[in-house]
A and B are shown apart, each in its own frame.
Chain A
Amino acid sequence: MTSAINTLRVQLGGNLRENGMMLALLAIVFFFLVVVRAVQDVDFLSAQNITNLFLQNSYVIIMALGMLLVIVAGHIDLSVGSVAAFTGAVAGTLTVYAGWPVYAVIPTVLVVGALIGAAQGYWIAFWRIPSFIVTLAGMLVFRGLTLWLLAGQNIGPFPRAFQSLSTGFIPDIFGVDRPNVTALVIVVLAIAGLVWRSLKSRNQDIAFGMEVGSSAMFWLRNCLIAVALLFVGWKLASFRGLPNVLIVMSVLIAAYSFFTNQTTTGRRIYAVGGNEKAARLSGIKTERLVFLTFVNMGVLASLAGMIVTARLNSATPKAGVGFELDVIAAVFIGGASMSGGSGKVVGVVVGALIMGIMNNGMSIMGIGIDYQQVIKGLVLLLAVIFDVYNKNKQG
């Protein structure tokens, strides 16, 4: 029996967790597809809704990338929702009241985000104040500062250029427009890139004598991913094309995936989370790395803040309430360990998509916010229990 399970584990690509997550994602999509049609007679996978999904959830994924590094380094950041709201308010003030142009506002706000991250990271890294405390304080402070800056009011509307940060689409350079050929070309290239990379890394693993799943399993997985992406790409292309945020998000995902897997700094962050003392005694500047993960988190939170502001077309004091929970949940559903040292970008993206799709699907179904929270909470718990169970099984 146990040996049967072990073979299955190996068959699943020695990577039960990641493949399991993707299957779960698929199952959730399928579930909503069926149920939403039955209950509301709406197509869950309509071009419009898929576009909405990305517009609504890009900020979670973007912040989850930063949160992954923070959690891998063995910390947590509870302030991201407030920071996103505050930086959104700063963007609003600069754009609407001070009349700054977009190309000046965006870098300025990103710098503000970096400074906020630095301010929090300073205490956490160099003074060793627990990140839970510092960022809990930050959560209150920046919420308060948002209220103060906005004087309790909404600021808006924003010029089109700023709005396009979130609601803009990549125009079709081929001029066909329906379907958007540019979108299709980009998607096909992205798929080719993805498959090429996973093939490369699989060959590398084989060369290193690592345990890999069967090649049938590998191709099945890649085909599924390719088909899913093609489908999404086709739907988006036949509607308004690729949203700008999708591009921003995809580039960030690729960049962070590379950073965590292939760079020395990325490796060092994992080492710090895995065993800080051993890392320090190996010559790694642990404090500086922790500090930088918080700076990075601040930058991404401010980017998310601007995206949300652009989407709502107004900076509001209520923006970003509860974001930190979605973001942290996405990282843990994605398989990061609470004690630091492990977690992958792919997992985080899938985790964030699961959260996002559930938000979206349940809203369409008209499920009340009360039940939504209960369900999301249970999903988080389930994912982590699955992890722990799996880890115990491996002994």
Chain B
Amino acid sequence: MTALLEMRGIGKSFPGVRALNRVDLRVEKGEIHAICGENGAGKSTLMKVLSGVYPHGSYEGEIAYDGRTMAFRGIRDSEAEGIIIIHQELALVPLLSIAENIFLGNEVATRGVINWPLAFQRTEALLRKVGLSEAPTTPVEKLGVGKQQLVEIAKALAKDVKLLILDEPTAALQENDSQKLLDLLLELKAHGVTAIIISHKLNEIRRIADRVTVLRDGSTVSTLAREDVSEERIIRDMVGRDMAHRYPERTPQIGKVLMEVRGWNVGHADQPRQMIRDAGFSVRRGEIVGIAGLMGSGRTELAMSLFGRSYGRYLSGEATIDGKPADLSSVSRAIEAGLAYVTEDRKVLGLILDEPITSNISLANLAGVASGWVLGKGRENKVAEEYRRALNIRTPGVHQRVVNLSGGNQQKVVLSKWLFTDPQVLILDEPTRGIDVGAKYEIYAIMNELAAQGRGIVMISSEMPELLGMCDRIYVMNEGRIIGELSREEASQERIMGLIIRDGNVNREHAA
């Protein structure tokens, strides 16, 4: 075997942070190489160094590709060598068509005039390769995340890719879309494309990776061959110790009903469709309740419509907290009533990325750090420090802008913000998306702690093992309705899926 890529002694610093210390990475020709590591271990940074996002000279160490030493000055240089990166955040233009996106910056043109027939023809061929049957003229915003991810890969293929880098490609995908994507990677491998994949989902890595490199605190810890790869081993290398359990121990102490929702109906914001139908659920003090369902089943919509009517049109329904009717008609009233909602999309809906940790944490409860109208910066600082310690937010200081934090630490900042409002009921929407095993464990532990304090927790998640591992009770949602409720003992992956599939069949018969 020959090395396609060798990165030696890579180091990279940001003001106040040493993101990469001494990383070595060797990728063989034709393999799928996985990179694992905790949030903030430096995975994305390493890939940005490789692809020229951070140009030569802004990092230490050297990169050999195809036997030659490389000094990329930008993305263009690396793309010219067939190194294509698909970033953690998708980079498609939502309003442009699939074809336009695929050939963006790489148009099929003669002397500046785009040859559309040829572009469409090529797009169709590429789409077939990645297993999409959409028309090339479809605007990208009309596609789900899973299909957008495939379009990104088609775009990479259009550029004659030799080394494909995928940064957490399946973080936002659900099970079957992820499977499709992984199958595609295996197929590309058969055609000679080398791939580097970053993922926190260890089962996926076990399935497709030929070798795994584990990073910790900006250094390479190990490179494991396929035979040596096991989830336990990866985790041990990632966190630097054995983790006996994925879910922290907890003895539930469940009290009386804390929040109850009945007959909740919500319409689409600007279409006559109804999105949530007759939903009802309850949470008790000290209880962790899960809501399972496929993407698009209305879980986020239900949560957001409860939280100050932040989604859609309220039609009818009532909610009580502690037996008293709760006024949830605006976000500030919902907060006052003791509700908090941690969004699934922390970057877009949860954080002010350019602001420091301090002002992000105080945002939902400015009164808590002010006397009257005047902010107490000292108090704000103290509060942030307290949460930093309590939730173990890894940062050089609480004045760091949150954009510079890794995913898991950003999530802890969002959690801190809501904890500071001292809520009775916390709705957590995909609280561990894109978060490493170690940080997941910490967040689970925080949830348990909150429940132990007598609060009620509602956890929305697409990862069924996590729901099964954490929840005392699980509601199952499908197409805007709650279609079942399972106790901890009853719940299993099969039963949840069974409920969803049966419900889908019933609906289809009704429609027919």
Contacts and interface: CB of A to CB of B under 8 A. Distances in A.
B282 interface: no
A274 to B, nearest CB: 4
Contact of B397 (A209, A262, A280): A209
Given A264-B370, A264-B375, A271-B363, A283 B58 contact: no
B377 A267 contact: no
B364 A282 contact: yes
B95 to A, nearest CB: 17
Contact of A282 (B15, B363, B373): B363
A274 B15 contact: no
B348 interface: yes
22 contacts: A6-B15, A211-B399, A263-B375, A264-B367, A264-B370, A264-B375, A265-B373, A267-B359, A267-B375, A270-B355, A271-B352, A274-B355, A275-B351, A275-B353, A278-B352, A280-B331, A281-B310, A281-B343, A285-B330, A285-B332, A341-B355, A395-B15
A277 B99 CA distance: 31
Contacts of A274: 352-355
A342 interface: yes
Nearest to A14: B15
A208 B417 contact: no
B30 interface: no
Nearest to B401: A394
A279 B363 contact: yes
Given A210-B399, A280-B310, A268 B354 contact: no
Given A6-B15, A283-B332, 14 more contacts: A208-B398, A262-B375, A263-B373, A265-B373, A271-B359, A275-B351, A278-B350, A279-B352, A281-B307, A281-B341, A282-B417, A283-B308, A283-B364, A284-B363
B322 to A, nearest CB: 20
A52 interface: no
Contacts of B381: 208
Interface residues of B, number: 39
A150 B8 CA distance: 76
A267 B354 contact: no
A153 interface: no
B307 A268 contact: no
Interface in B367-421: 367, 370, 373-375, 377-378, 381, 397-399, 417
Interface of A: 2, 6, 204, 207-211, 261-265, 267-268, 270-271, 274-275, 277-285, 341-342, 394-395
A265 B370 CA distance: 11
B270 to A, nearest CB: 13
B349 interface: yes
Name the residue in A210, A264, A265 with the highest tally of chain B Cβ atoms < 10 Å from its Cβ.
A264
- 4 shortest A-B CB distances, which residue pairs? A274-B352, A283-B332, A282-B364, A283-B331
B343 A275 contact: no
Contacts of A6: 15
B214 to A, nearest CB: 25
Contacts of B341: 281
A270 B354 CA distance: 11
Contact of A394 (B15, B353, B364): B15
Of A204, A274, A279, A285, chain B has the most CB atoms within 10 Å of the CB of A274
B335 interface: yes
Interface of B: 14-16, 54, 58, 307-308, 310, 330-332, 334-335, 341, 343, 348-355, 359, 363-364, 366-367, 370, 373-375, 377-378, 381, 397-399, 417
B366 A278 contact: no
B349 A281 contact: yes
Contact of B373 (A209, A264, A342): A264
A393 to B, nearest CB: 10
A59 B319 CA distance: 53
Contacts of B352: 271, 274-275, 278-279, 341
A210 B358 CA distance: 12
A280 B352 CA distance: 11
A371 to B, nearest CB: 36
Given A271-B352, A282-B331, A204 B370 contact: no
Which of A267, A270, A394 counts the most B-chain CB atoms under 10 A from its CB? A267
B303 to A, nearest CB: 11
A204 B380 CA distance: 12
B367 A210 contact: no
A277 B363 CA distance: 13
B378 A204 contact: yes
A390 to B, nearest CB: 12
A62 to B, nearest CB: 23
Nearest to B397: A209
B349 to A, nearest CB: 5
Contacts of B350: 278, 281
Most buried by B among A207, A278, A279, A281: A278
A278 B15 contact: no
A368 B330 CA distance: 56
A13 to B, nearest CB: 14
B335 A283 contact: yes
B150 to A, nearest CB: 27
A21 B377 CA distance: 26
Contacts of A280: 310, 331
Nearest to A268: B366
A259 to B, nearest CB: 9
Contacts of A267: 359, 366, 375
Contacts of A283: 308, 330-332, 334-335, 364
A215 to B, nearest CB: 19
Nearest to B14: A395
Nearest to B332: A283
Contacts of A209: 397, 399
A267 B397 CA distance: 21
A184 to B, nearest CB: 32
Contacts of B359: 267, 270-271
A285 B333 CA distance: 11
Contacts of A282: 331, 363-364, 417
